[in-house]
């Protein structure tokens, strides 16, 4: 197939990456996408580096078999931990993660340079955001907080209300109930599951800019496709296609995934795949 017509592969541990897929499709409506949610092995965020690398390599290998032209790692945990190994193993294609774009979004939103980042244990442990932010903005003061329960809440479709807010208070009060001179002015949602919790988080953190990596990842993807001259070059009529693959639970994926994608998904739209492990 002409390279520009090949699909773009996107993966996450579950439905979280659909928040990124939504932004990618909005920015690049003519491109076709194949999305893999590795729901059988979710969460990635609590696992060891070795497991996360292995899972990410297997997810990427499955998408490679779909003849993709580019890979978007729509999972902060896999981006933080496994991006170097993915980029070296699949060096023929552009492999784009979400941490760098998330860091960029945080740096451009923050006035004071005091930036809080929330993500999974796997993302926070490796200090990937601290490194990415300090490369862009040397004076930044980063507070990184692991919020693993948010993944379970979001996967459950429990995105608002007193339970979510109580957990958010538990995780975030120590960073945000401080005098305004030291309080972060920006909160980076460093996990692709978290954008659906934004309303509840807003109740807890108050007047802070909340950003995620979806939009800046779409910009980074477009730039890479242009650079490599593989941006869609077909007849510009209509939208590109979208295939959704999951390693478990098609019905649940469709039900909860609709919230993340912002449009209805039916379980017959989901193809069950086996990573062969
Ligand atoms: N959505 C993933 C992320 O962005 C992680 C969720 C998980 O723990 O699997 O980090």
Taking the CA of residue 46 as reference, the ligand 1 atom at the shortest distance is 8
The candidate with the shortest Cα–Cα distance to 74, out of 221, 178, 236, is 221
Q: Which of 151, 212, 248 to mutate to test the pocket of ligand 1 (most atoms within 8 A of CB)?
A: 151
Taking the CA of residue 45 as reference, the ligand 1 atom at the shortest distance is 8
pLDDT band at 234 (very low <50, low <70, confident <90, very high): confident
Ligand 1 proximal residues by C-beta, below 6 Å: 12-14, 16, 42-45, 75-77, 119-120, 123, 151, 191-193
Rounded to 5 degrees, φ, ψ at 216 are -65, -25
Distance CA(233)–CA(4), nearest Å, equals 6
Give pLDDT tens digits for 251-276.
999 999 999 999 999 999 999 999 87
Q: What mean pLDDT value characterizes the chain?
A: 95
Q: What secondary structure does DSSP assign to 34-92, as a single string?
A: EEEE-TTT---TTS-HHHHHHHHHHHHHHHHTTT-SEEEE--HHHHHHHHHHHHHHTTT
Helical residues (DSSP H) of the chain, grouped into ranges: 18-27, 49-64, 76-89, 99-109, 121-125, 128-136, 149-155, 162-176, 198-205, 214-227, 250-261
Distance CA(77)–CA(55), nearest Å, equals 11
Question: What's the 211 CA to ligand 1 centre distance in angstroms?
Answer: 16
User: What is the percent of the chain where pLDDT is above 70?
Assistant: 99
**What is the pLDDT at residue 48?**
97
pTM: 0.96
The candidate with the shortest Cα–Cα distance to 145, out of 119, 169, 122, 167, is 119
pLDDT band at 16 (very low <50, low <70, confident <90, very high): very high
The mean pLDDT of 54-80, rounded to a whole number, is 98
Instruction: Please enumerate in sequence order all residues whose Cβ is within 8 A of that of 193, keeping only pairs 6 or more positions apart, or say none.
Output: 14, 15, 16, 19, 150, 151, 154, 155, 260
Residue with the smallest CA separation from ligand 1 atom 9 is 43
Residue with the smallest CA separation from ligand 1 atom 8 is 45
Q: Which value, in Å, is the radius of gyration of the alpha carbons in the chain?
A: 18
Q: Is the pLDDT assigned to residue 111 strictly greater than 90?
A: yes
Question: What's the 179 CA to ligand 1 centre distance in angstroms?
Answer: 31
Instruction: Please enumerate in sequence order all residues whose Cβ is within 8 A of that of 82, keeping only pairs 6 or more positions apart, or say none.
Output: 52, 53, 56, 57, 73
Burial code (b: 16+ CB inside 10 Å, e: under 16) for 230-242 equals bbbeeeeeeebeb
Q: Which of 56, 128, 193 to mutate to test the pocket of ligand 1 (most atoms within 8 A of CB)?
A: 193
**What is the pLDDT at residue 233?**
83
Residues paired with residue 11 on neighbouring β-strands, in sequence order: 36, 73
**What is the pLDDT at residue 237?**
67
The mean pLDDT of 107-118, rounded to a whole number, is 98
Residue with the smallest CA separation from ligand 1 atom 7 is 43
The candidate with the shortest Cα–Cα distance to 27, out of 232, 260, 245, is 232
pLDDT band at 236 (very low <50, low <70, confident <90, very high): low
Q: Is the pLDDT assigned to residue 83 strictly greater than 80?
A: yes
Q: Between these two residues, 179 and 235, which has the higher pLDDT value? A: 179
User: What is the percent of the chain where pLDDT is above 90?
Assistant: 92
**What is the pLDDT at residue 1?**
67
Question: What's the 12 CA to ligand 1 centre distance in angstroms?
Answer: 7
Give pLDDT tens digits for 187-229.
999 999 999 999 999 999 999 999 999 999 999 999 999 999 9
The mean pLDDT of 122-127, rounded to a whole number, is 96
The mean pLDDT of 69-79, rounded to a whole number, is 98
Contact 142, 130 (CB under 8 A): yes
Q: Is the pLDDT assigned to residue 277 strictly greater than 70?
A: no
Taking the CA of residue 16 as reference, the ligand 1 atom at the shortest distance is 1
H or E element in which residue 143 lies = strand 141-146
**What is the pLDDT at residue 276?**
76
Give pLDDT tens digits for 129-152.
999 999 999 999 999 999 999 999
pLDDT band at 240 (very low <50, low <70, confident <90, very high): very high
pLDDT band at 2 (very low <50, low <70, confident <90, very high): confident
Distance CA(32)–CA(209), nearest Å, equals 32
Question: What's the 240 CA to ligand 1 centre distance in angstroms?
Answer: 26
Active site residues: 75, 191
Q: Which of 10, 15, 16 to mutate to test the pocket of ligand 1 (most atoms within 8 A of CB)?
A: 16
Peptide bond into 138 cis (omega under 30): no
pLDDT band at 4 (very low <50, low <70, confident <90, very high): confident
Residue labelled with tokens 């429990």: 158
Residues paired with residue 209 on neighbouring β-strands, in sequence order: 186
């Amino acid at each position: 197939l002409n390279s520009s017509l090949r699909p773009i592969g996107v993966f996450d541990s579950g439905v979280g990456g659909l928040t990124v897929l939504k932004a990618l499709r909005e920015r690049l409506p003519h491109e076709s996408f194949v999305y893999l949610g590795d729901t059988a092995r979710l969460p990635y965020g609590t696992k060891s580096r070795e497991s996360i690398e292995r899972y990410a390599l297997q997810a990427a290998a499955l998408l490679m078999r779909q003849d993709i032209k580019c890979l978007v790692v729509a999972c902060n945990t896999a981006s933080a931990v496994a991006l170097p190994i993915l980029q070296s193993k699949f060096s023929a294609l552009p492999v784009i993660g979400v941490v760098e774009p998330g860091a960029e979004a945080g740096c451009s939103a923050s006035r004071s340079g005091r930036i809080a980042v929330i993500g999974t244990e796997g993302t926070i442990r490796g200090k990937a955001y601290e490194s990415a932010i300090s490369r862009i903005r040397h004076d930044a003061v980063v507070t990184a907080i692991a919020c693993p329960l948010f993944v379970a809440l979001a996967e459950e479709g429990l995105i608002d209300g007193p339970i979510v807010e109580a957990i958010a208070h538990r995780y975030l009060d120590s960073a945000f109930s401080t005098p305004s001179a030291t309080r972060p002015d920006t909160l980076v949602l460093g996990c692709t599951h978290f954008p659906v919790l934004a309303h509840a988080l807003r109740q807890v953190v108050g007047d802070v800019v909340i950003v995620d990596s979806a939009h800046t990842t779409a910009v980074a993807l477009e730039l890479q496709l242009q650079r490599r001259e593989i941006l869609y070059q077909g007849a510009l009529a209509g939208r590109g296609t979208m295939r959704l693959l999951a390693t478990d639970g098609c019905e649940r994926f469709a039900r909860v995934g609709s919230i993340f994608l912002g449009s209805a998904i039916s379980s017959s739209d989901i193809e069950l795949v086996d990573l062969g492990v």
